[in-house]
Amino acid sequence: MTPEQQTAVEGLLRSHAAAPGGLLPLLHAVQDQLGYLPPAAVPLIASAFNRTRAEIEGVISFYHDFHTEPPARHTLRLCRAEACQCMGGEALAAQLRDSLGLPDEGVSADGELGLIPVYCLGACACAPALELDGRLHARVTPDKLRQLLQGLKGGEGAC
Ligand code: FES
């Protein structure tokens, strides 16, 4: 954790630690500000809330949306649910595994792209679907996926 991150965590602790039920809002605030929850912040949080480190780590690991690693520059959430599977989503998953050298979830070696499987994006009628940096892409073909990934490499953004 950098000195700047520690200062940020300490500031957020001052405004959340005394509030009833303040732990989850504090964790969200830290992640919102830093992009993730640095493991080195856990002892500070545990001390401020008079909890053990294991208790804080248990809360963090319980919720899927808390992250303990710095985020990738871009996030791709690929739908792996049934409608998308039936409409070519598994081929997209295989394409991502090949092109990123990742299993179905993780961050590319260069830190550029984080891949997260999700189970329905609410776009089943337009399957297969994925979300790239918060933007939904539907009826995704292998060519379209290739173009999206190429756009990231070119620094042009998702679309
Ligand atoms: S199953 Fe993929 S968007 Fe619903």
pLDDT tens-digit readout, 52-77:
999 999 999 999 889 998 889 999 99
Atom of ligand 1 nearest to the CA of 128: 2
DSSP string, 81-130: SHHHIIIIIHHHHHHHHHHHT--SSEE-TTSSEEEEEES--S-GGG-S-E
Q: Does residue 69 lie in a domain region?
A: no
121 plus 141 within the same structural domain = yes
CA of 126 to the centre of ligand 1 (A): 8
- Around ligand 1, the residues with Cβ closer than 6 Å are 79, 81-84, 120-124, 127, 129
Nearest to 106 by CA among 141, 148, 67, 52: 67
Is pLDDT larger for residue 90 or for residue 157? 90
Long-range contact set of residues 44-51: C-beta below 8 Å, sequence gap at least 24: 44/6, 44/9, 44/10, 44/13, 45/9, 45/13, 48/13, 48/17, 49/17, 49/22, 49/23, 51/23
Instruction: Give the SS3 label for residue 45.
Output: helix
80 plus 53 within the same structural domain = no
Q: What is the token pair recorded at 76?
A: 């791709």
83 plus 116 within the same structural domain = yes
Task: For residue 31, give its domain range.
Answer: 3-62
Task: Name the domain count of the chain.
Answer: 2
79 plus 145 within the same structural domain = yes
Q: Does residue 119 lie in a domain region?
A: yes
Instruction: Give the SS3 label for residue 77.
Output: strand
DSSP 78: E
CA of 146 to the centre of ligand 1 (A): 20
- pTM, two decimal places: 0.71
Q: Does residue 67 lie in a domain region?
A: no
What's the pLDDT score for residue 154?
A: 64
Distance of CA 152 to the CA centre of its chain: 17
**CATH number, domain with residue 92:** 3.40.30.10
12 plus 53 within the same structural domain = yes
Mean pLDDT over 146-157 rounds to 78
What's the pLDDT score for residue 153?
A: 77
CA of 75 to the centre of ligand 1 (A): 18
159 pLDDT above the threshold of 50: no
Helix axes 53-62 and 23-34, enclosed angle (nearest 10): 70
**Backbone torsion region of residue 70, taken as left when φ is above 0, otherwise alpha when ψ lies between -120 and 50, otherwise beta:** beta
Is pLDDT larger for residue 105 or for residue 141? 141
Question: Looking at the DSSP assignment, which residues form a beta bridge with residue 67?
Answer: none
Q: What is the token pair recorded at 24?
A: 């989850």
